[in-house]
Structure 1
Amino acid sequence: MLPDIVTFWHGSIDALRQTCLRSQVAAGHKVTVYSFDPIPGLPEGVGNAEAEAVLPHSFAEKLRPAEPDGSWRDWTMLQFSDFFRMRLMAQRAGLWLDADVLLLKGVELDPAKPYFAWERPRQLGNSVLYLPQNDPIVRAFEALMQQDELIPDWLALRHRLTFAMRRLRGKSNRLADIRVAIYGPAALTALARRADELQHALPKRSFYAVHAEPRLFFEPSDFSRYLNDPGIIGLHISPKGRGKAAPIPGSLYAWAAQRFGQRNTLSKP
Structure 2
Amino acid sequence: MLWIEGPLSFLEQLCIKSFLDVGQHVRLYTYGPVTNIPEGVEVRDAREVLADDEVILHKRTGSPALHSDKFRVQMLAKVRDIIWADTDAYCVKPFTTENGHLHGWLAAHEINGGVLALPADSATLYDLIDYTNHPYRIPHWLSPKQRRPLIDMALAGETPHASDMPWGIWGPRALTWLLRDNNEARFSQPQDVLYPVTYRDRRAMVRSNGNAERFLTENTMSIHFYGRRMRSFILNRFNGIPHPESMVGRLVEKHGIDPHAAPLQKKASTDDLVDASDE
In the alignment, which residue of structure 2 is the partner of 1:251? 246
Segments ≥4 residues shifted beyond 4 Å: 153-156, 165-172
- Give the Cα separation in 2 of the matches to 1:184 and 1:214: 19
- Give the Cα separation in 2 of the matches to 1:74 and 1:152: 20
Percent of paired sites with the same residue: 24
- The structure 2 residue matched to 1:22, chosen from 12, 17, 23, is 17
Cα-to-partner distance string for 1:20-57 (whole Å, 9 max, x where unaligned): 11001112110011111131111111121111120111
Corresponding letter in the other structure for 1:205: D
In the alignment, which residue of structure 2 is the partner of 1:45? 40
Alignment of 1:1-269 (within 5 A): 7-12=1-6, 13-61=8-56, 74-93=61-80, 94-110=82-98, 112-147=99-134, 149-152=136-139, 155-164=142-151, 173-212=160-199, 213-221=201-209, 222-226=211-215, 229-239=217-227, 240=229, 241-242=232-233, 245-261=240-256
TM-aligned CA distance change 1:27 to 1:167, over 3 Å: same
Cα-to-partner distance string for 1:172-212 (whole Å, 9 max, x where unaligned): 82233232211000000111011101111111121212240
Cα-to-partner distance string for 1:199-239 (whole Å, 9 max, x where unaligned): 11111121212240321111113344246x20211100014
SS in 2 for 1:257: helix
SS in 2 for 1:33: strand
Cα-to-partner distance string for 1:69-124 (whole Å, 9 max, x where unaligned): xxxx83442110001000011013400111111111111112x3321100110110
SS in 2 for 1:52: helix
Q: Contact conserved, 2:135 with 2:161, CA < 8 A, in 1?
A: no
The answer for unaligned runs of 5 or more in structure 2 is 259-279
TM-aligned CA distance change 1:242 to 1:168, over 3 Å: farther
SS in 2 for 1:48: strand
The TM-score, its normalising length taken from structure 2, stands at 0.79
Q: Contact conserved, 1:219 with 1:252, CA < 8 A, in 2?
A: yes
- Give the Cα separation in 2 of the matches to 1:120 and 1:36: 32
Q: Post-superposition shift, 1:169? A: 10
Quick check: which one's helix share is greater?
2
SS in 2 for 1:117: strand
Q: Contact conserved, 2:197 with 2:212, CA < 8 A, in 1?
A: no
Q: Post-superposition shift, 1:262? A: 5.5
TM-aligned CA distance change 1:171 to 1:261, over 3 Å: farther
- Give the Cα separation in 2 of the matches to 1:38 and 1:243: 25
TM-aligned CA distance change 1:198 to 1:22, over 3 Å: same
- Give the Cα separation in 2 of the matches to 1:203 and 1:118: 6
The answer for unaligned runs of 5 or more in structure 1 is 1-6, 66-72, 264-269
